[in-house]
Chains A and B, each alone.
Chain A
Amino acid sequence: MAVIYQQNMSLEEKLRILSDAAKYDVACTSSGVDRAGGAGMAGNSVAVGICHSFGADGRCISLLKILFTNECIYDCKYCINRSSNDIVRTAFTPEEVCTLTMEFYRRNYIEGLFLSSGIMHSPNVTMERIVKTLRMLRETYRFNGYIHCKAIPGADESLVEMAGWYADRMSVNLELPTAEGLRQLAPHKNRKNILQPMRKIQNGIEESRELLGACGGNKGSYWHTRRKLEGKTELQKQEEDAALFARDRGKIRGLNPHILTGVSPEGAGRSMSGVQQKDAVPKADFWGTGLPDEDLLMPSAQGGLAEADGYGDTSCRIWKESASAAEGRYGIHAGHETLSCRTARGFVPAGQSTQMIIGATPETDFEVMSVAEALYQKFDLKRVFYSAFVRVNDDASLPVLPGGPPLLREHRMYQADWLLRYYGFAAGEILTRERPNFNVLLDPKCNWAIGHLEMFPVEVNQADYFKLLRVPGLGPKSARRIVEARKSAVLDFRDLKKLGVVLKRALYFITCSGRMLYSTKLEEDYIVQHLLDASEKLPAHLSEDHFTYRQMSLFDVGGMLENG
């Protein structure tokens, strides 16, 4: 392992290296929290999100996306920063990150900061630097804009919590969809280490909502869609959640009560260096037998998802111990000042997200989407991001994808993700064990519809909202408009067009007052043929000439054969 560590590097040079190393993280969105500005502070936040620029790859740039350091003690095969790579290493100081963020922000280049990091020295040391930086940015520089930061797997829970009080969004990357994939390509990571901080953050958010009300942040779209499907009011569903959560509360603590009340615990004011030396996170048997990681997110042998997520009594006991061990460490910056966080911002109010790399390991699309669904269900994630694998390292354990990153596959995943979050589809409806991969030619919703012709045609003047949503060519907006408009009039096809329905796709699947638009056959081959003619409008990067079937990975081709 060669580490070329450069002293006295210019800020420009650091920025070049540390933004280059961060660019594969896709979660560049500033959405999810509305916060007005305030006197003496710089910044506000807008829930719908603002894109500040678009890079040459067409991706939105809204955050200063950087690593704190590209130094790393781990050796994840797919990562440019892995310890075995012979590259120039560097690190920002917290002041440098603050300066860049503030100066970029006031020129309106960015909405805020996205801070990730390689693991320098240990997870705790790394997490501590991140927390220090965020604290400085919020409290010294009075930055009130958007912050997204990583929770470093394996870092002490008190540090993760501290970060959560300063950040708007946090994420722990799942990296690869299966535990097996992790074992192969990220040998220093494991599912437990990744899911533990995710759960911690989830519970923290839940508690913060309970204590702080609306400013604790709102629920994700998946939650709202399920709620509507179940026909519940927000209050009903919240109460239900609260009951579930109360049962769980003793087991996994979310927030340190001292922070919320602003009263510092005994012994606060000790310097963080205590953590570094003691490295309080218990190793190997931390989770005892309580957490069978393979099964946590994967479809079980029976086909459903494993219900027990493994956070049993064993883990509960250890959590408590670990929690009390951490109590004394809240004097996070070296001084003797005791900590009182501003809790008005809420704890991770924009929720948490995660990311999976697609195409580095041979999971089927069904497996990936099942994992995503489980993450939405069990961890209340705001977003799951999918990142087409880019082969930056020449390593025998990595697949060679002659067509480049599997962009179409990634695109299908975002479409399917949309179906989970807004349309009320289950992963097992979009794909199945028998047909585990996306159809290359049809989007997942059309693909589902032609496989379920017995559900059609749907009568537009009667079908409920979620039935309408399942019609190709209809989306949440047009379905909502239909439900609204038909209260005062019987709708015909002309009205549908005005309401935003894409008729050339919908016409095979709907009737208006019992009539179809044309006399069409409700038959698979016929419809597929016509839908393909009225071809799907793929985003520019997928429909351009440079896209050919060659660009699909081995797995994509597999999917084509399965579904073709």
Chain B
Amino acid sequence: MQGGRIMLLREEKLNRIYECEDTLEGILTGIYQAWDASYGHAYIHLTVPAAGESESMLLFSEYHTVVPDAKQAQKVIQTIRKKTSEKVCEKLLGALYSTNPEKADAVYHVLPEAFRMGWRVIGNLADPYMQAVFEMNRAVRNEAHEYLGFLRFEEQKNGVLLARFSPKNDLLELVAPHFADRFPGENFVIYDTGRKKAAFHQQNGPLVIRGLFEEELACFFQISPKEAQFQAMWRLFFETVAIEERTNKELQRNFMPYRYRTYMTEMH
């Protein structure tokens, strides 16, 4: 009975689902278009279907596929920045790098309240969307910060420094600029093994992030002759510098959970 009534209500107005590409640009474009439609926030949902995934179609919903549009995305960022604050904007954008599939929807639904309250929305933890967005942002920023330290580069035969990692959240855009600033004179690649994409940096050149081709992968993993020696010395240092009388693996694990260790030279 109950179900029937809901169906009836829904029949009057269909849910509208915007399927966005899982990139900053894709989601922001989705936000732009959904907002622009003035369809009623309650009936709008944004999703980021994973590539190749055919989402189980919900009944009584109409689907829109969003084609990313740089201009529209840019407009959304500008508006958020203007109507709230730099800090709020940073948090909202941070959440969009999350691995959580609800992120696009959560950010979208935060906006009406954020535009009403301006920068004050930051204190509004009572709003469940806001809470979710802040939580996602926090998780993203934390993980990104950890990888600034835990990422390991290996020198390849051609002198290129290659780092591999497999973060929970989509961190390349957040992590790579730090290393471009740090190593302006190096050629380096940071490869997200899970998402099969990488950040490329050429000596004193710009940073490019894109998918990785199989052929490109094949020419990696040929470490330079010196590489093994420095890896060995790093392991040696790592082991020597710990104080035996204070041994405490649990503390070590708290600070450096196993999931970060996959590509860490000193843990193998």
Contacts and interface: CB of A to CB of B under 8 A. Distances in A.
A544 B253 CA distance: 13
Given A59-B246, A390-B245, A484 B123 contact: yes
A61 B241 contact: yes
A39 B250 contact: no
A19 B238 CA distance: 9
Interface string A392-413: 0000000000001101000000
A55 B238 contact: yes
Interface string B209-240: 00000000000000000100010111011111
Interface in A30-87: 36-44, 46, 50-62, 64-65
A59 B255 CA distance: 9
Contacts of A37: 181-184
A103 interface: yes
B234 A55 contact: no
Interface stretch (A106-114, A305-313, A459-467): A106-114
A540 B250 CA distance: 6
A109 B182 contact: no
Interface stretch (B2-10, B51-59, B148-156): B148-156
A228 interface: no
A12 B243 contact: no
Nearest to A30: B149
A42 B183 contact: yes
Contact of B248 (A50, A62, A108, A544): A544
Which of B204, B238, B254 is the most central at the interface, judged by chain A CB atoms within 10 Å of its CB? B238
Which of A56, A62, A65 is the most central at the interface, judged by chain B CB atoms within 10 Å of its CB? A56
A62 B237 CA distance: 12
Contacts of B208: none
Interface string B124-147: 011000000000000000000100
A11 interface: yes
Nearest to B131: A498
A15 B256 contact: no
A16 interface: yes
A50 B149 contact: yes
A405 B265 CA distance: 30
B50 interface: no
Contacts of A103: 226, 230
Contacts of A19: 236-237, 240-241
Contacts of B266: 53, 109
A52 B151 CA distance: 8
A37 B240 CA distance: 31
B250 A405 contact: no
A24 interface: yes
B38 interface: no
A544 B250 contact: yes
B186 interface: yes
Contacts of B149: 50-53, 62, 108, 111
B185 interface: yes
Given A103-B230, A107-B154, A108-B151, A56 B242 contact: yes
A12 B240 CA distance: 12
7 contacts: A37-B182, A56-B247, A64-B237, A104-B233, A106-B155, A498-B125, A540-B254
Interface of B: 120, 123, 125-126, 145, 148-155, 161, 163, 178-179, 181-186, 204, 226, 230, 232-234, 236-252, 254-256, 264-266
